Amino acid sequence: MAPPRTYRAEALTLKTAPFGEADLLVTLFAREEGKLRAVAKGARRPTGKLVGHLEPLTFTRLSLNRGRNLDVVSQAQTLDNFTPLKSNLTALSKGLYVAELVDGFGSEASPNEPLLRLALDTLAALGRAPEDDLPLLYFQLHLLAVSGLLPELHCCVECRRPLEPGRHRYSAAGGGVFCPDCAAAPAVNGAPDGAGYSSGYGTGTGIGTRPLSLRALKVLRLLASRRRPADLPDLTLDEPLALELKAILTATVQYWLDREIRSNAFLNHLSRTGGGGAVSRSE
Ligand SMILES: [Zn+2]
């Protein structure tokens, strides 16, 4: 039986782009559909009934009609506009980064309710505390968790022994923390704690590691143990610690995002070419 022509969805708008004369191409992350691209007809006309409901970082209930290529939004009702987030520039820019990562990690036709929940909770937390570093760090770590990519934080990824306090190292490509015995490889760029991490992986062993302070490890474990950003304790990070955590999590997210984008590009290429033929990519 053919699927119904019209369906309803609850979705967060990740981004929009002009489409045709007055339409909007909307990238959504929907509860039951995963990532979804749809057309909102007339949404760029000031009088259009969809205006305002589909701007980025808005959570809406939608009615959609299935199209041959792209589905078409016929109705939209705003469920949460995240007004506090949008009225603060710092919070807004962090929110757009959240949307960019959901877009990067989310897949089409692949629902991920925990990822949607995480994004919505994080946007609310950012609206409550725009300057707080914890909500975005929480988001980055749990984005990895709901994608099945959470770094190992309790055992050495090499020897599997439980980590004792010591001079640990961390590697995104290696999947987490190395104990002092296994972390003999030198730092990639001689990078000190909290700086200069993003410029490359690849020691002699093929996975760049960087020093990981004990207090950063403790905060990572604390973030991983909480169910929602609202459960985070009232904890202020000093600047070196905040920088170290940002460097570690941003590099880890970027590492997986690059792989994800490459594999998506490869899959898209295969689907366009029907799976045959040589793949040529310029990198
Ligand atoms: Zn080890």
CATH number of the domain encompassing residue 11: 2.40.50.140
**How many other CB atoms sit within 10 Å of the CB of residue 134?**
22
Q: Residue 74: which of 34, 31, 23 has the closest Cα?
A: 23
Would you say residue 140 lies in a domain? no
Residue 277: inside a domain:
no
User: Is residue 83 assigned to a domain?
Assistant: yes
CA of 206 to the centre of ligand 1 (A): 17
pLDDT score at 194: 38
Number of domains composing the chain: 2
pLDDT on residue 263: 64
The answer to the question of residue 283 being in a domain is no
Q: Is 178 found in the same domain as 77? A: no
Q: Looking at 56-65, 73-82, 253-262, which range is the least confident one?
A: 253-262
Quote the ligand 1 centre to 157 CA distance (angstroms): 7
- The answer to whether residue 278 sits within a structural domain is no
Q: Is 195 a residue whose pLDDT tops 70?
A: no
Residue 281: count of CB within 10 angstroms of its CB: 8
Tell which of 98, 132, 166 closes a domain. Answer: 132
112 and 16 in one domain? yes
Whole-structure pTM value: 0.83
**Same domain (yes/no): 177, 206:** yes
- Asked whether residue 167 is assigned to any structural domain, the reply reads yes
Residue 265 CA to ligand 1 centre (angstroms): 35
DSSP-based helix, strand, coil % in the chain, nearest 5: 35, 20, 45
Packing angle between helix 239-273 and helix 89-105, nearest 10 degrees? 40
Kindly state whether residues 113 and 209 are assigned to the same domain.
no
Angle between helices 113-128 and 134-146 (to 10 degrees): 180
Q: How far is the CA of 163 from the centre of ligand 1 (A)?
A: 8
Instruction: Please indicate, yes or no, whether residues 114 and 165 belong to a single structural domain of this protein.
Output: no
Sign of CA dihedral 216, 180, 188, 150: negative
* DSSP state letters, 93-120: HHHHHHHHHHHHH-BBTB--HHHHHHHH
Compute the distance from residue 273 Cα to the ligand 1 centre, in Å.
Answer: 45
Q: Are residues 13 and 126 in the same domain?
A: yes
User: For residue 51, what pLDDT is reported?
Assistant: 81
- First-to-last alpha carbon distance for the chain, in angstroms, is 43
* 115 and 220 part of one domain: no
pLDDT band per the 50, 70, 90 thresholds, residue 149: very high
* Bridge partner list, 30: 11, 34
Q: What's the pLDDT tens digit per position in 208-224?
A: 789 999 999 999 999 99
Q: Is the pLDDT of residue 187 over 90?
A: no
Tell me the per-residue pLDDT of 90-132, one tens digit each, with 9 for 90 and over: 999 999 999 999 999 998 888 999 999 999 999 999 999 999 9
Q: Are residues 61 and 105 in the same domain?
A: yes
- Of the pLDDT bands very low, low, confident and very high (cuts 50, 70, 90), residue 261 is low
Mean pLDDT calculated for residue range 260-266: 63
Range of the domain at 112: 6-132
Please report how the helices 214-225 and 134-146 are oriented relative to each other, as an axis angle in degrees rounded to 10: 70
Confidence category of residue 143, pLDDT binned at 50, 70, 90: very high
Last residue in a domain, options 107, 132, 157: 132
**Distance from the CA of 264 to the center of ligand 1, in angstroms?**
33
Q: Are residues 189 and 226 in the same domain?
A: yes
